[in-house]
Structure 1
Amino acid sequence: MSHGKWTISDSDDDDEALPSSGTPAVSNPSSRQSVPPLRPKLEPVTIPVEVKPEPVNTPVSSLAIGSEARQLAAKNQLNPVKYESSPSLAGKRKKEVSDGSGWALSDSDDDDGDVKRKSVGNLPKKAPPSPKAKKVKVENERPPSPHGRLYYIDEPEDFFESSVPHLNDTFRFYLNKVTGLDRKYNTGALHIRDILSPLFGTLKESVQFNYCFDIPWMVQQYPSEFRDHPVLIVHGDKREAKARLLQQAKPFPHVRFCQAKLDIAFGTHHTKMMLLWYEEGFRVIIMTSNLIRADWYQKTQGMWMSPLFPRLPEGSSASAGESPTFFKRDLLEYLASYRAPELEEWIQRIKEHDLSETRVYLVGSTPGRYVGPDMERWGHLRLRKLLYDHTDPIPGEEKWPVIGQFSSIGSLGLDKTKWLAGEFQRTMTTLGKSSHRSDPPIHLLYPSVEDVRTSLEGYPAGGSLPYSIQTAQKQLWLHSYFHRWKANATGRSHAMPHIKTYMRASPDFTRLAWFLVTSSNLSKAAWGALEKNNTQVMVRSYELGVLFVPSAFNMESFPVHNNPFLVSSSSGFPVPFDLPPTRYSPKDQPWIWNIPYSQAPDTHGNIWVPS
């Protein structure tokens, strides 16, 4: 296995400091306007919608789509490496990997010498070479699945048939549908075909912002009556990747492209958003899913779906249609940051609609170096400003833990003080204008090797969890924060997360001080990092999320619903994993995508051999 230069993938970025030259710092804050009160809106009547299932066979085109980790997962699924339990092979594995951990420190990382000399528990000296393994075809007989007999069966024709969730839901936060789970665990969840269904509006045009696209698959998700309507793709691909993307779209003349400017090294266009323009109005979807089948199949994803925003009366003022959360202003500011002519008509359309029903705050990141007031426009400093302005201090808040949950991890520094326990923790622990700087527990949820091995997808699920050995071995200190991915209450423990959420919970985990769903993984590229003695912040990537704070919902805190997606009328907040979090045991290791796992088969009887 090669441990050479690792390909940047899906916001798992190398955040090593670069020279401060390059993109100039920005300082031209937008004007702030007054806000009108909320007004109730009528929603379309919802009726059952039938969505046909996807074909089970992964299209060949998926082998060239996405990061290196995702491409490896696709190849693994099409041509898996079977687990062999013969005594000779088992003995060889045991000799090579005496403790079964499968990854270790590299002796070439001189900058981490102090860390390497410490005891690191059950980590072996080096990652093992790939075992002798037999390539087999997918059609071979599979072992019994621990997830039940329906796990390997193609989803039935009526799998996606459901009643669309009521659009007057309190929080408008939904999970995606997952195949292979009991139908009850998809209650209130959405598939992409639900979102694009005519039940939500008569679609005229749409924009798809994302990191990873399968254009033919995406086009098929639109209902037949909307399938040839104009679609604008906003992406960050360059050179060969851009050429492949354009090639995919050749059969679809209604698909156009807008390339996001990525002027800072190691940045990605990671935002995942839909803008949907209907005959009846306009809607925004901010989500965590890429536009590829794998992300809508057996992964846990999240999304916020806006109300249907009606068109403003002719002659309305420029400040009309604003929400108490200034969502309209912030969305327009985010779109303007692309400096893209292709988005100008959409900026104008949004200005002509009434977004006053919105109760969430927009938290975005755009590439650049920012100084002065502009430091609080993007990234974690934007979140810090919102928490300062719109939350209140809580008695005993030093005991209210911060919970971060993500699917990828960047390089955070040689110790926790470099970023995580410094500027990032200060943001996450901000509650109102209190001068008290609390130091509560921080729980970081990231799947362990065992979580991935026993998942619905098995080891290929790890292709969407691109934490590399090169990064992991430099920050062993981080792993003491790790907790398992568990979601028994939602029935989704075995659907690996691609969702990213951050929140502040009460000590008994029954209430939330705030909740954020976002595209931002745990990386400085996504959230930004302070520079020049804290007088400048540098952000590498485009990211987008929405923040829920109790004051916007006339609450003091959010109650946590223990079984959120089985009762759609609940006023509790639908946290998508189990609380309290479960800390890693001494035997648990975080999933690392680019090393082999051959000690035990996954749910498909296969092992993981990067090559």
Structure 2
Amino acid sequence: MSQASLHGRWTVSSSDDDDDDEDIPPSGTTAPKPRMSPSPVPEPTPLEVKAEPVRTPVSSSLTIGSEARQSAARNQLNPVKFENSPSLAGKRKKEASDGSGWALSDSDEDDAEVKSDRQVDPPKRAPPNGERKKAKMESERPPSPHGRLYYIDEPDDFFESSVPCLNDTYRFYLNKVTGLDRKYNSGALHIRDILSPLFGTLKESVQFNYCFDIPWMVKQFPPEFRHCPVLIVHGDKREAKARLLQQGQPFPHVRFCQAKLDIAFGTHHTKMMLLWYEEGFRVVILTSNLIRADWYQKTQGMWMSPLFPRLPEGSSASSGESPTFFKRDLLEYLASYRAPELEDWIQRIKEHDLSETRVYLVASTPGRYVGADMERWGHLRLRKLLHEHTDPIPGEERWPVIGQFSSIGSMGADKTKWLAGEFQRTLTTLGKSSLRPDPPMYLLYPSVEDVRLSLEGYPAGGSLPYSIQTAQKQIWLHSYFQ
């Protein structure tokens, strides 16, 4: 599709590479999600982890994760090109002379690097010790599937802001975003903040997620915790699983646990950390994948639990429960994995006091449920909580339902199939009042212009999978878009 605009002509290629849609369900869930059949992918060649050569384009065959993430990586390596376009964001580089298109600049240092590339035979000098050490570290990194600029560090002052007070009611935080003024990152957290010694002396952790970049993840741990045991819980299979295990080979302290997905459309989307300290235990439920792109210039959210202390010796099995039964529900969710690798963690949680928790856990696990079991998981669990713990309010019929999404899957031939028949009904439940007839619903999804003007520019669209084939089957959905 080619269109003209005030910024010249641009071209968007429609493909079905993103049929394996990635969405972000409520934090800490394992959500079954219908998806289209992915396009045939060439048989992958054997992979070999090597040091990244300077300025050598990364092959798309090294992409990790699902087809959706592979498509995102390809889009970042081959971004949309502009014709006669004026300069856009100050962070973007000028188009490379080899015609390979523009890329994103992560810092002023990187812009200086581009300028130096254009010099003819620049004078050579012996780098300071710090630069030699950094160059050695760069050479030891495996090639990134997200492009050469993926590993460039944030500015030196990015991590200087103080950690926010954690004694608030909801314990919900946003992540830091590179490229914003420091005042807008006030009170936000980066993954390095979460794993820092300020929150406890870490002994061991479990990382549940959908996408992983193991070398990047390991680097986020502070040096004193960098070799603490880490268990990776993932849903990858076949070639994707082989690539993930290969990433972990240089790190003997990293182990893996594959989630059992017993139904065709089961997807392991859980994004959660279990952190075991010398001082206690903590749960973090978040929306970010464990890849740098999700922590760089995207707004993400996270819930961080209090530090749960260890129960006294001889405490009963029911001790340490919260008013919201968070401990019971977390243990039930972990048990649904049926994974021996999680048994030690289940026992550890039983030995800690989670009574300070003030939130309900809404989890989801693939399967087919009937009767009362339908209300144990997913949005029907949310509906039950709203029914039991809220009360009708005058004027509620005017309240709209507002949803924001990073990807969209198949929702049927019309709104009654799922959107209004199930999802809308859940979100409009308020106590034991009668159902509202047809409340307004607004669905927020980025436009082309929103993506173009974002901090990342067009490559950010790689994280917004919505296949043209699916979109053409549900034109009715467009009337909800805002």
**One fold, TM greater than 0.5?**
yes
1:183-209 CA-partner distances (Å, limit 9, x unpaired): 100000000000000000000000000
Partner of 2:185 in structure 1?
186
- 1:15 aligns to 2:30 (yes or no): no
Shift of 1:399: 0.7
CA distance in 2, matches of 1:59, 1:346: 41
Alignment of 1:235-384 (within 5 A): 235-384=234-383
CA distance in 2, matches of 1:251, 1:64: 18
CA distance in 2, matches of 1:139, 1:426: 42
* Contact 1:58-1:78 at 8 Å conserved across structures: no
> What is the DSSP-based 3-state SS (H/G/I as helix, E as strand, rest coil) of the residue aligned with 1:251?
coil
- 1:65 aligns to 2:64 (yes or no): yes
1:83-139 CA-partner distances (Å, limit 9, x unpaired): 1229xxxxxxxxxxxxxxxxxxxxxxxxxxxxxxxxxxxxxxxxxxxxxx9423649
1:498-527 CA-partner distances (Å, limit 9, x unpaired): xxxxxxxxxxxxxxxxxxxxxxxxxxxxxx
Partner of 1:136 in structure 2?
101
CA distance in 1, matches of 2:211, 2:309: 31
- 1:157 aligns to 2:153 (yes or no): no
Partner of 1:212 in structure 2?
211
Shift of 1:69: 4.3
* Contact 1:15-1:410 at 8 Å conserved across structures: yes
Alignment of 1:379-390 (within 5 A): 379-390=378-389
Which amino acid in the other structure matches residue 172 of structure 1? Answer: R
CA distance in 2, matches of 1:316, 1:211: 36
Q: 5+ unaligned residues in a row in structure 2: which ranges?
A: 1-12, 25-31, 38-54, 86-97, 108-151
CA distance in 1, matches of 2:188, 2:295: 11
Aligned-pair identity (%): 84
Instruction: Name the Cα RMSD after superposition.
Output: 2.6
Q: 5+ unaligned residues in a row in structure 1: which ranges?
A: 19-56, 87-132, 143-152, 484-611
CA distance in 1, matches of 2:373, 2:206: 27
CA distance in 2, matches of 1:193, 1:412: 38
Which amino acid in the other structure matches residue 231 of structure 2? Answer: L
CA distance in 2, matches of 1:454, 1:432: 42
CA distance in 2, matches of 1:259, 1:59: 31
Partner of 2:225 in structure 1?
226
Shift of 1:448: 1.3
- Using the size of structure 1 for normalisation, the TM-score is 0.60
Q: Would you say how many aligned residue pairs link Structure 1 and Structure 2?
A: 388
1:438-459 CA-partner distances (Å, limit 9, x unpaired): 5321111111111111100011
> What is the DSSP-based 3-state SS (H/G/I as helix, E as strand, rest coil) of the residue aligned with 2:449?
helix
Per residue, is there more helix in 1 or in 2? 2
Q: 1:272 to 1:291 in 2, by over 3 A?
A: same
Which amino acid in the other structure matches residue 433 of structure 2? Answer: S
* Contact 2:214-2:247 at 8 Å conserved across structures: yes
CA distance in 1, matches of 2:359, 2:469: 37
CA distance in 1, matches of 2:179, 2:75: 19
CA distance in 2, matches of 1:444, 1:318: 44
Structure 1's consecutive aligned runs of 4 or more residues displaced over 6 angstroms after TM superposition are none
Q: 1:195 to 1:299 in 2, by over 3 A?
A: same
CA distance in 1, matches of 2:313, 2:294: 41
> What is the DSSP-based 3-state SS (H/G/I as helix, E as strand, rest coil) of the residue aligned with 2:369?
strand
> What is the DSSP-based 3-state SS (H/G/I as helix, E as strand, rest coil) of the residue aligned with 1:461?
helix
CA distance in 1, matches of 2:57, 2:481: 35
* Contact 2:271-2:287 at 8 Å conserved across structures: yes
- Using the size of structure 2 for normalisation, the TM-score is 0.76
